[in-house]
Each structure stands twice: as C-alpha cells, then as structure tokens.
Amino acid sequence: MLAMWVPELPFQLACGRDGALRDRPLAFLNPESPRSPSLWFVNRLGRAEGLTPGLPLDQALRLAPGLKVLDPAPQVWWEAQGCLADFLQHWTPRGQLGRLGEALVELQGTQRIFGPLADTAQRMRRELTERHGWASHGGLSLSATAAQLAARTEHQLELVADGAEGAFLAPQPLRRLADLAPRVRERFHRLRLRSFGDLQPVPLPVLAELVPPKLAPDLRARVRGEDRP
C-alpha cells in the first residue's frame, strides 16, 4: 500500500501557473468573512513569518509585507484534486483520494510491469514532479494507516517493513487520526491514552466501551497497523 502526500497542493498548483509566486509567503483568503478579510490557508513560508489561519488581512500584511493573497476560488481545489486523481488512474485503478493532496493506492498489481514496489513508488513520485512540477512524499507499508503516517515524515519515500507497523505507529499521537471524533479524543486524553502505543494493548471489549462498538475493531486494527484495506 502506497500513501502519497502532496503538501500544500493548492499552493503548488498556483506556483505552477505563476512562477513569480515561488519562494514567497502565500495565503488564501477566507471566503466566509468577506466584510473583514482574514486568512484561510497559509503556506509554510507564511507560517514561518508568523502568519496563521484566521489572522486579519491587515495584520498579516504588516507582519509579512511580501505576502501574496490568493483568491479561494473552488475550482482551484477541484482542479488540484482532479489532477491528482487522473495521475493515479494512469498507474493503477485501485486507490482512493483522501484529504486534499492525499491518496492511498494499491501497488500489488503493478509490480510485474513496473518492477519492485519501492521502485514503482519512486517512479510515480518522479513522474508527478515531471508532469505537474509537484513535490510529494510517500509511505509504503502493508498497513494503510502506517503508510499514510509514513508519508507525513516528509522523506522522499518512507518504508515500513512487514511486522514493524506496530512499532512504527506506537509513538504517534492519537491526534494524527484526523477522523477521530473530538469527544472520543477527549475521553482518551482523560484516560491518559494519548498515543497509538497507549491504545495498542487495550482489549477489544474494553475499547468497545470507549468508542461506538461498531467502530472499535477498525480503530484497533488501525492503531496496531493491522488494517489491510
């Protein structure tokens, strides 16, 4: 299972259209506050200068005079995600898009044509750069959750060996599970269950008392690196 992550995908798309935007702080305006403009998404260079989402535009411009503010037109997001989907479809039909700039693809069916899985993953990353100019990170693991978090280490390609999924995930904070309900996250926090490793030894019947019973088996598999979608 290969997880691909294109960090700051909308900003990379904008820079690909206008090279003058590269290497400068960028932000999208919040479309829900037209009367008092504020920032919505901020790139890394902007955050390095103290800019944060929700910051009023006038304050942002004082903090970072070189800030370029971008129009948050919905087609920017749709086009970016659509380009990523088309690229992945070229390689394999077995995959799914996640949050903006994230994808999870099954490579087992491609290895006979394109070589070992790690080589295939590297070829995909190179082609994404050559075709769209986008930088990406990858995570390769039998576990979908391990692959996704490995991609977030921001190495070119992070490999999680078979059998090492649990150890890799153990130190990860539970907040890395973006779909974990805030109420459940707070309950875990009160019980001092704050990392994947804290939750890994919890028996399934006990876990089913802490989360909706139907969700417990899937959550247990994910924190232990045993999810095999």
Query: Binning pLDDT at 50, 70 and 90, where does residue 72 land?
Result: confident
Side-chain half-sphere CA neighbours of 118 within 13 A? 7
> E-assigned strands of the chain?
2-5, 26-29, 39-42, 68-70, 95-97, 102-105, 137-140, 157-159
Q: Render the burial of 33-59: b for 16+ CB within 10 Å, e for the rest.
A: eeeeebbbbbbebbeeeebeeebebee
Average pLDDT value for residue range 114-142: 86
- Give one word for 96, left, alpha or beta, with left for phi > 0 and alpha for psi -120 to 50: beta
> What is the structure's pLDDT at 71?
81
- Show the tokens assigned to 163: 């059998």
> What is the structure's pLDDT at 224?
96
d(CA 52, CA 136): 23
The pLDDT tens digits for 138-171 are 999 999 999 999 999 888 899 999 999 999 999 9
Regarding predicted confidence, which is higher, 114 or 190? 190
- Show the tokens assigned to 9: 């995908």
pLDDT above 90 (res 9)? no
> What is the structure's pLDDT at 109?
61
pLDDT averaged over every residue in the chain:
88
> What is the structure's pLDDT at 183?
92
- Closest by CA position to 92, among listed 114, 68, 122: 114
Contact 67, 56 (CB under 8 A): no
Regarding predicted confidence, which is higher, 203 or 91? 203
Would the CA dihedral through 78, 79, 80, 83 be positive or negative?
positive
Global pTM value? 0.82
Average pLDDT value for residue range 31-58: 89
- Three-class SS state of 200: coil
Contact 13, 80 (CB under 8 A): yes
- Give the whole-number percent of the chain exceeding pLDDT 70: 95
